[in-house]
Structure 1
């Protein structure tokens, strides 16, 4: 496949040069500026680092310069590594060490100290480069090609060291081609950019948007912390395609005015990165009756997502736990049993993804790569450690295989309990945490944002929720303790911040 991703993005600078490519607060970037500045920076990189393809770290948050640097890196033949401002400096040092990067470009004027292996570029330096190399164009043959790495995203590793997931140009083009066609994306639409660039969910809006000549409307973590400011941004955005984690949408739904009145142009929700709760999908359909909800699934190692399905009223009524969809046509989903054989239809096992979306593996980590990746019928395959079931080609996720816990001799999945907790008529949002004592799980704790209710005392509310749970779950799976809060904290990536919750509750419970 040769989607000509970079060439197509550059084409909009000729066909629609003044079209906004990116909007963040008061800052705007047109397609003309995106091309001119990425070309200039690419030429500087090529001159400064000839015959070199080491990855380039790009540090910042939602500044327009972030995507300029991404495109400049790949035009100059280098993969880029997105580094959000939320990432601590010691972790950045480990990323530098593991990647062999020689260049660190920061939009926040962060200088990496303590190493002579890397050169730091600040915003002042960057503007000087744009001016000095203005009008110069890189050679197309210098750009990343085929199986060259296009970007590298670092994810958490079980050893405590971050793992660099290598995504090639072929991987990315396979994803973009599928997303544009299967999601029914149109030319020139406005896309929400909620996820920071160091989280691969951002790729779901970034490249489909730029490829179709659209506008990315970025929101930042400071806005998310102030709903009034966030919703004011939404009201002036004309967003047509919404991409976020389900947790972020669930947070927005807590405000009654989050509806089609606020976002009248919104026609499509794209969800990935977490379980989409049934009640969240139901509320969204009620608030946005003209919008399509697309649920999808895929780990970073398989380039954002590989399955999708439109969630309509029939699906919501048919399934308590929503399916994550059918596999994209150039890939294959296998369900593998513990003994390595392929599970039968409807039988549970580990989700294995096969095809051109699958990463080459972890950068400079052959042992980790060998554990997680393999070859199936000559194609790359990734063992996800996610449990799932295929029913006539439709995939259902059943949580992490390593997120099962054993409590008082009973094996259980936290996601299953959370699903039923969130389905309670008294619960707006909820999270379940297993609490340890002396290295063993002692009890389950439910963190709940309650719906409006008539109970005077919390213990009455707890009793009512437990009664509803008892109709769906065995007694040993019902949380012993309940804590009530006005909101659920989220990570910078827009997922539930379980570590923060655990720290909070262990101080109070």
Structure 2
């Protein structure tokens, strides 16, 4: 695979160049290559099924990158799982994927329940003798390179399979069509279990750059984050708009702090025009790019540079035109392509489209199909095209994007209704300036002994914390005697939204 070959080439031609940096450790290209070879050799000796997925557990350690590369060198796809994921959800991923092996980079014990899964600690493998892996055994072409688990409407996460061909098409696009130069320093803000991280990780490694990672602790301590940013020499900023918006709250977030910053790339949620404008004002030498795409189409499939002209012309920014080898079609409810300017569902076709959900034939059949001879994906997103530019209008169903994370509202509702303190519940997104700011839980409580609402809220949050990641837990809790219904017997979400958003 071209990507892996290029990483090998960097290890040979620039062995001492840093490939990975976090607040505690550094990793050169030579170390990345050699350590991943050692681990790949070990993986090839494990008695696990051919192409069986391997779970890689950890946070922002250099060993995560080593593990990813080792897995695909050994011929196995990997499943990134961040330490912030609750134990119950980790167990669901293990069972859903039927993974037989877990690489634990966290330094802590991982609860694997009753799953028949082996656990290896890659950190303990330094200094082992190794031989070069055979490129014929590397993951390639239509073989699955990685699997990322996203929110599922049934209460269970679902694994999106991305092939080597999917990833190579995406990485080539980023390194060829964006102002990304060899040796650039890339910001890595997103955990590896979130596909936005792919936008910085692999374009960085393909171009011989350095990945500069932001840990969860740094985000929670802005003073430490900004002190580190000052020493980072970042050239390429990839993040959700929300993270940049948080940074903009500090007046020091400017060209003076990051004088070498040249490119902003955003994905994962809507980029407000106000955020793009502030970035252009504070970073006069940097270019801002807005992109769009779901996990099922390999991170992003459209892009546009947000220029002064774009900001003057649009109050809601377009998400741009398609990448090479990709076509976007807008269809109506009858599955027919609509005219320019007409709204409908966004359909993505071409080289970026996933092969489907791991072990979920029925879900795959619903979302993936063939359109004009090419693989296609029904996004469930509403939008329209105008003069070659795509405009994203939100979800057609109850799936949303919050702070860059894709969330099924039904999944949260499923888990919140499992609480002994809840009789029924509905999740309502709270919008500000066409962007979801947080989630509201409207609850009809079950019988309980709490005197105060905050005590009830605390108990429900504790229940949710054992099954859902923190980003899926609602910020606001509203208690009512009943949930309003429409005339046809459905939950009146429109009315609820109006009532709780006042």
Question: What TM bracket, shorter-length normalisation?
Answer: 0.7 to 0.9
Q: Post-superposition shift, 1:499?
A: 3.4
Residue 38 and residue 505 in structure 1: after superposition, are their counterparts in 2 closer, same or farther (change >3 A)? farther
Q: Post-superposition shift, 1:289?
A: 1.0
Matching of residue 306 in structure 1 with residue 339 in structure 2: no
Matching of residue 48 in structure 1 with residue 54 in structure 2: no
Listed as ranges, the matches of 1:125-136 within 5 Å are 126-132=122-128, 134-136=129-131
Matching of residue 431 in structure 1 with residue 430 in structure 2: no
Q: Post-superposition shift, 1:91?
A: 1.2
- The separation in 1 between residues aligned to 2:147 and 2:309, in whole angstroms, is 39
Structure-1 residue corresponding to 2:473: 499
Q: Post-superposition shift, 1:437?
A: 7.0
Structure-2 residue corresponding to 1:26: 24
**Which of 164, 167, 170 is the equivalent residue of 1:169?**
164
Residue 508 and residue 365 in structure 1: after superposition, are their counterparts in 2 closer, same or farther (change >3 A)? closer
Listed as ranges, the matches of 1:269-284 within 5 Å are 269-284=264-279
Structure-2 residue corresponding to 1:418: 432
> Contact (CA 8 Å) 1:321, 1:419: kept in 2 or not?
no
Q: Post-superposition shift, 1:111?
A: 3.1
Structure-2 residue corresponding to 1:182: 177
After TM superposition, the score normalised by the length of structure 2 is 0.82
Listed as ranges, the matches of 1:273-422 within 5 Å are 273-403=268-398, 418-419=432-433
> Contact (CA 8 Å) 2:48, 2:101: kept in 1 or not?
no
Which consecutive unaligned segments of at least 5 residues does structure 1 have? Answer: 406-412, 423-429, 440-490
CA RMSD of aligned residues (A): 2.5
> Contact (CA 8 Å) 1:240, 1:265: kept in 2 or not?
yes
Q: Post-superposition shift, 1:498?
A: 6.5
**Which of 47, 65, 68 is the equivalent residue of 1:67?**
65
Residue 497 and residue 100 in structure 1: after superposition, are their counterparts in 2 closer, same or farther (change >3 A)? closer
Matching of residue 246 in structure 1 with residue 220 in structure 2: no
Structure-2 residue corresponding to 1:444: none
Structure-2 residue corresponding to 1:120: 119
**Which of 152, 158, 165 is the equivalent residue of 1:157?**
152
> Contact (CA 8 Å) 2:442, 2:477: kept in 1 or not?
no
Structure-1 residue corresponding to 2:260: 265
After TM superposition, the score normalised by the length of structure 1 is 0.81
Residue 398 and residue 98 in structure 1: after superposition, are their counterparts in 2 closer, same or farther (change >3 A)? same
Structure-1 residue corresponding to 2:85: 87
> Contact (CA 8 Å) 1:44, 1:129: kept in 2 or not?
no
Residue 336 and residue 84 in structure 1: after superposition, are their counterparts in 2 closer, same or farther (change >3 A)? same
Residue 97 and residue 209 in structure 1: after superposition, are their counterparts in 2 closer, same or farther (change >3 A)? same
Which consecutive unaligned segments of at least 5 residues does structure 2 have? Answer: 401-427, 446-464, 481-499
Q: Post-superposition shift, 1:376?
A: 0.6
- The separation in 1 between residues aligned to 2:103 and 2:472, in whole angstroms, is 31
- The separation in 1 between residues aligned to 2:43 and 2:444, in whole angstroms, is 54
> Contact (CA 8 Å) 1:336, 1:343: kept in 2 or not?
yes
Structure-1 residue corresponding to 2:12: 14
SS at match of 2:474: helix
> Contact (CA 8 Å) 1:418, 1:432: kept in 2 or not?
no
SS at match of 1:165: strand
- The separation in 2 between residues aligned to 1:435 and 1:103, in whole angstroms, is 37
- The separation in 2 between residues aligned to 1:91 and 1:244, in whole angstroms, is 24
Residue 363 and residue 325 in structure 1: after superposition, are their counterparts in 2 closer, same or farther (change >3 A)? same
Structure-2 residue corresponding to 1:443: none
> Contact (CA 8 Å) 2:439, 2:474: kept in 1 or not?
no
Tell me which moved more, 91-100 or 12-21.
91-100
- The separation in 2 between residues aligned to 1:503 and 1:152, in whole angstroms, is 34
Structure-2 residue corresponding to 1:457: none
> Contact (CA 8 Å) 2:440, 2:477: kept in 1 or not?
no
1:46-70 superposed Cα distances (whole Å, 9 cap, x missing partner): 1223762200000000000000000
1:41-94 superposed Cα distances (whole Å, 9 cap, x missing partner): 101111223762200000000000000000000000000000000111111111
Higher relative contact order (CA 8 A, sep 6+): 2
Residue 268 and residue 327 in structure 1: after superposition, are their counterparts in 2 closer, same or farther (change >3 A)? same
- The separation in 1 between residues aligned to 2:265 and 2:229, in whole angstroms, is 16
Q: Post-superposition shift, 1:243?
A: 0.2
Q: Post-superposition shift, 1:152?
A: 0.2
1:318-344 superposed Cα distances (whole Å, 9 cap, x missing partner): 000000000012100010111111111
Q: Post-superposition shift, 1:378?
A: 1.8
